[in-house]
Amino acid sequence: MGFKKVSILFFALFSMATVLAQEVELKTTVSKNKLGVNQRLRIEFVVNKQGADNFAAPNFKNFKVVGGPSSSINQSWVNGKASYSQAYIYIIKPKRVGTFTIPSATIEYKGKKVASNTVKVIVVSASEVPENPNDPSYIASQNVHLTIEISKTSPYVGEGIYVVYKLYFSEKVGLSDWRMNETPQYNGFWNQDIEVPKIEAKNVEYQGKKYRSIILKKALLIPQKSGKLSIDPIDMDITVNVPTGRGDFFGNAITRRVNYSTASSKRNVNVQDLPIDGKPESFTGAVGEYDFSISASKDVLRANETTQIEVQVNGKGNIKLFEIPKIITPNELEVYTPERKEKVRTNSKGLLGKISDSYTVVPEYKGKYKIPEVEFSYFDPNQEKYITITSEPLIIDVIQGKSLPTQNQTDASLKQTVVAANNFRYIQHKTTFEPIVKQDFFKSNLFYLLLLLPFLAIPIGIFIGNKKAERDRDITGNRLRKADKLARKYLSQAKKELGKKEAFYIALEKALHNFLKARLNIETTDISKERITEILEQRKVDETTINEFVEVLNDCDFARFTPTTNVMMRKEFDKAKIVITKIDKQV
């Protein structure tokens, strides 16, 4: 019995020595070396030594991490031989088609850094993925489709179009869950989401087969410039229940859950310029179908009473994206800045409702005052022509109050003023001289003040020096002040252009690029926002700050083609200043 215990102990020590004698190794393995751009890849980094830590994953710059990291440990004892392994697992999805090399991961063992092998992965387009009827991912790709539907592909500038994103899935499969990874970008469009009240599946026919469909997203887009504009696709991760071909005890089909990624196609819209021929001078960009009217709350009143003159546009189209005509009033009427009122809703037909400017008018003298007719012009895309509506003139009758001064009264008043202004004054012709009292500087108040000034300067200098030393020790505060100074430096030109929409957003975008160029020593004018995002990620800038920076860049592109105000420009300026400060602190 004692011999058996000794033998077991000997073999255990021998096995442990064998494990310890193994060289530490970090190995990279992938589930497949060739996949479609709409598929996923499982990648594992396995270390064979216990005690290794500080694992660092490689930069998946051509892939998007959709799962992980997760970790698993495997420890076994077979035929007296011990083995150990720990795996770090990621699920990644390719961003584009091509041949990519996934770099090495690293881990530390006893102070030594160990690197894994690199892996080559070939990414092909979705149509090039080999057909395998038994592959659940292939079954999902054949039975689940994400589409984008556009109401009109050749609209005019300012004409609204309706965009719907739909998910189709056949009766062979079921959906457990779905998630939209990235919302589409509508560069060159004014856009507003339309609420989808309830997500429910409907039985439809798709590509000649029976399917069910779900409306995922609706949006109203109004192009702000002519030419070819792109509507970006949406990217989704979907959990699909794929049949296995087997049934349970009761005959019900057994399904298998598959994580499937797909994207809608990218759609282009050819936007037409509004015609030049026949464009009225009063046209300010209104496109759609409108009514126009001008009315007064009361047209008979007394002096110093108020009346409200309302200029109203009612209809459907790009109703929030143009200027309402202004009224012209006689100089004798006091008119205040108009109050803008909006009552607009969004649906699949566009923007519906009314907008108006309400002027407060106060007459000072009695009489009848005429507010001339006003023209409002809009372009009707259905009729493909301009339409002009002319309002009736308004007569404001002030029945009580002081009379308007006549021309003779005005002239007499002016003459009276001239005479009063030229009255002669008495001119003194004698002068009286008085001696100047001379005060000796010695022992004067100024003498003693200057004498004590050096002694007062010493404690003041010590106080200032201590404050400076305290400020120099404040590393965080100095960094904040330096970042704020840097932000003001690059945004100075944009601040000068506040109020000038086009010049302001160009200067703001240039300031952001110049900041990156100076701070990160890179040229940013010729690279994409995705590349800028990668560079900032490499410099350890947090994701929230990067998103804020890219959002300001997107706003610069978008705001040039949409109506904006000085308040909106000031908000964009403050947002850019904050994000520059954040990036400078983190870098």
- Listing DSSP states for 416-477 in one string gives HHHHHHT------------PPPP--STTSHHHHHHHHHHHHHHHHHHHHHHHHHHHHH-HHH
The token duo for 506 is 């160009």
Residues 160 and 93 in one domain: no
Contact 243, 258 (CB under 8 A): no
Q: What is the CATH number of the domain that holds 58?
A: 2.60.40.10
Q: What is the pLDDT of residue 353?
A: 92
From 104, 127, 150, the end of a domain falls on 127
Q: What is the pLDDT of residue 175?
A: 82
Residues 267 and 361 in one domain: no
Q: What is the CATH number of the domain that holds 194?
A: 2.60.40
Residues 491 and 538 in one domain: yes
Helices (H), 302-444: 407-421
Residues 182 and 151 in one domain: yes
From 127, 152, 182, the end of a domain falls on 127
Residues 47 and 69 in one domain: yes
* Helices vs strands, H then E, count in the chain: 9, 30
Q: Is residue 460 part of a domain?
A: no
Rounded Cα–Cα distance for residues 80 and 501 (Å): 78
Q: What is the CATH number of the domain that holds 395?
A: 2.60.40.740
Residues 121 and 143 in one domain: no
Residues 153 and 236 in one domain: yes
The token duo for 531 is 């590349």
Q: Each residue's pLDDT tens digit in the chain (587 positions)?
A: 444 454 555 445 544 444 444 588 888 998 888 888 877 788 999 988 877 788 888 988 888 887 778 877 877 766 667 778 888 888 888 888 889 999 999 988 888 888 989 999 998 876 555 566 667 777 888 888 889 999 999 999 999 998 999 999 988 888 877 887 767 778 899 888 888 878 888 899 888 888 999 998 889 999 999 999 988 888 788 888 888 767 665 656 677 888 887 778 888 999 999 999 999 999 999 999 999 999 999 889 888 888 999 999 999 999 988 889 999 888 888 888 888 898 998 877 778 999 999 999 988 888 888 999 999 999 999 999 999 999 999 998 988 777 766 655 544 444 444 333 444 444 555 666 666 555 566 667 777 777 777 877 788 878 887 777 776 666 655 555 555 565 566 677 777 777 777 778 787 787 777 777 766 766 555 566 777 887 888 778 888 888 888 888 777 766 655 666 777 778 888 888 888 888 877 77
Q: What is the pLDDT of residue 538?
A: 79
Q: Is residue 424 part of a domain?
A: no
CA dihedral 374, 380, 383, 389 (to 10 degrees): -10
User: 180 burial class (0-12, 13-18, 19+ CB within 10 angstroms)?
Assistant: middle
Rounded Cα–Cα distance for residues 383 and 346 (Å): 23
From 400, 430, 447, the end of a domain falls on 400
Q: Is residue 421 part of a domain?
A: no
Looking at the whole model, is its pTM more than 0.85?
A: no
The closest of 56, 52, 43 to 105, measured between CA atoms, is 56
Contact 569, 498 (CB under 8 A): yes
Q: Is residue 234 part of a domain?
A: yes
Q: Is residue 450 part of a domain?
A: no
Which residues contact residue 148 at a Cβ distance below 8 angstroms, ignoring those fewer than 6 apart?
163, 164, 165, 166, 231, 233, 234, 264, 265, 267
Helices (H), 51-148: 136-143
Contact 403, 365 (CB under 8 A): yes
| Per-residue DSSP letter, 140 | H
Q: What is the pLDDT of residue 18?
A: 47
Residue 377 region by backbone torsions, left for phi larger than 0, else alpha for psi between -120 and 50, else beta: beta
Residues 241 and 312 in one domain: no
Contact 107, 57 (CB under 8 A): no
Side chain identity at residue 70, one-letter code: S
Cα–Cα distances (Å) from 34 to 42, 136, 291, 474, in that order, read 12, 16, 61, 54
Q: What is the pLDDT of residue 429?
A: 57
Residues 81 and 149 in one domain: no
Q: Is residue 531 part of a domain?
A: yes
Domain span at 171: 136-271
The closest of 189, 374, 339, 351 to 286, measured between CA atoms, is 351
Residues 115 and 181 in one domain: no
Q: Is residue 555 part of a domain?
A: yes
Q: How many CB atoms lie within 10 A of CB 128?
A: 12
Q: What is the CATH number of the domain that holds 552?
A: 1.20.120
CA dihedral 195, 201, 204, 210 (to 10 degrees): 150
Residues 216 and 251 in one domain: yes
Contact 327, 363 (CB under 8 A): no
Q: Is residue 441 part of a domain?
A: no
Residues 501 and 544 in one domain: yes
Number of domains in the chain: 4
Rounded Cα–Cα distance for residues 102 and 465 (Å): 55
Side chain identity at residue 552, one-letter code: V
